[in-house]
Amino acid sequence: MSHSQAIIVPRISTLPAHEARARVILRWLAERRIVEALPTTCGRGVGGMAYAIAPGARDVVRRPELLPFGEAINGLEVVTRRCIYTPTRDFAEEAGCPECRREIGEALFESLDDWMPGQTDNFSCPECGFEDDINGFLFIPACAFSNLGFIFNGWGEAGFEQAFLDEFAERLGFAVALVIDRP
User: Which positions of the chain have pLDDT values less than 70?
Assistant: 1-2
Q: Give the pLDDT of residue 2.
A: 55
Q: Are 11 and 177 in contact (CB under 8 A)?
A: yes
Whole-model pTM: value is 0.95
Nearest-angstrom CA–CA distance, 180 and 105: 19
Q: Give the pLDDT of residue 90.
A: 79
Q: Give the pLDDT of residue 88.
A: 85
Q: Give the pLDDT of residue 133.
A: 97
User: Computed over its alpha carbons, how large is the radius of gyration of the chain?
Assistant: 17
Nearest-angstrom CA–CA distance, 43 and 106: 32
Nearest-angstrom CA–CA distance, 85 and 74: 19
Q: Give the pLDDT of residue 1.
A: 46
Angle between helices 18-31 and 162-172 (to 10 degrees): 140
Q: Report DSSP state, residue 136.
A: G
Q: Classify residue 80 as exposed, middle or buried by CB count within 10 Å of its CB (0-12, 13-18, 19+).
A: middle
Q: Dump pLDDT digits (tens) for 106-123.
A: 999 999 999 999 999 999
Helix, strand counts (H, E) of the chain: 4, 12
Q: Are 87 and 179 in contact (CB under 8 A)?
A: yes
